[in-house]
Amino acid sequence: MQRAAEVLMTSKRVVFFTGAGISADSGIPTFRDKLTGLWEKHDPQRLETAEAFRENPALVWGWYLWRRRQVSQAKPNSAHLSITQLAKAGWDVSVVTQNIDDLHERADSKGVVHLHGSLMSAKCFACHRPVELTSEQLQIAEEGRLVEPPRCARCKGRLRPGVVWFKENLPEEAWRSAVRLVRNCELLISVGTSGVVTPAADIPDMALAVGATVIHVNLEDVGLDRANEMMLLGNAGEVLQALLRSVGVE
């Protein structure tokens, strides 16, 4: 912690790279958590594909409505709030996230780069046009009843969540923004990321390649003991709050 605090004190441009672990304390399940209710018999990785949507659009749309409801009921936790505290204390802070929730925004982080899209958005499965959903379209799938996706006003194709599914490319603009921020940072703090989903998993290596320091915050040791890389084991909120206290930010 002391070494991490020393690096943070001497770094002006800081990028937080976040994954599912940062939202766990807000009640947002990770892929490792067992699903409940209507979804307990389903594998999330099989629901989050274009193939699954083609085969059963109501099932997939209902799954995402359920996830959206979870997010709407959740609140940012101390890890999200630590990032905005650091920004308000004078550091040049950017956030690049793999998460599709809006907890960073609700914690008052600005200009968050979403590499995997957002649960809060939708687009047409056929013509890919972004669509703003109405309150009626955001009705929640009841237990045992799934909801057929709304239709696109332009082409009548089914609407799908505005997220990146397995086997899909990252949004080009988001990826370019992330690369630009990482290549210009002095410190990358990776919080709650598994380091297995590419190309996002390449971001710490990208930071190290330009001479930045990388601090991993995770419940498990995900570091590779390379130069300019360190590991802080523990709960994201507790570790980040301790790091902020170490540099005089309360």
Does this chain's domain 1-27+76-116+168-250 share its CATH topology with 29-73+119-163? no
For the domain 1-27+76-116+168-250, what is the CATH superfamily, name and number? TPP-binding domain (3.40.50.1220)
What's the whole-model pTM score?
0.92
CA distances (Å), 172 to each of 115, 117, 163, 169, 177, in order?
9, 11, 13, 8, 9
Residues 171-192 have pLDDT tens digits of 999 999 999 999 999 999 999 9
β-bridge mates for residue 52, sequence order: none
Contact 64, 137 (CB under 8 A): no
What does the domain layout of the chain look like in residue ranges? Answer: 1-27+76-116+168-250, 29-73+119-163
Query: Tens of pLDDT along 17-36?
Result: 999 999 999 998 765 545 55
Q: How high does pLDDT run on average in the chain?
A: 90
CATH class assigned to 29-73+119-163: alpha beta
The residue among 27 and 76 whose pLDDT is bigger is: 76
Q: Where are the beta strands (DSSP E) in 33-180?
A: 92-97, 113-114, 117-124, 130-131, 159-163
Active site residue 116: yes
Catalytic residue among 114, 116, 128, 216: 116
Listed residue (96, 100, 142) closest to 121, CA to CA: 100
CB 62 within 8 A of CB 226: no
Residues 6 or more apart whose Cβ sits within 8 Å of residue 200: 98, 115, 116, 170, 193
pLDDT-based confidence at 141, cuts 50/70/90?
low
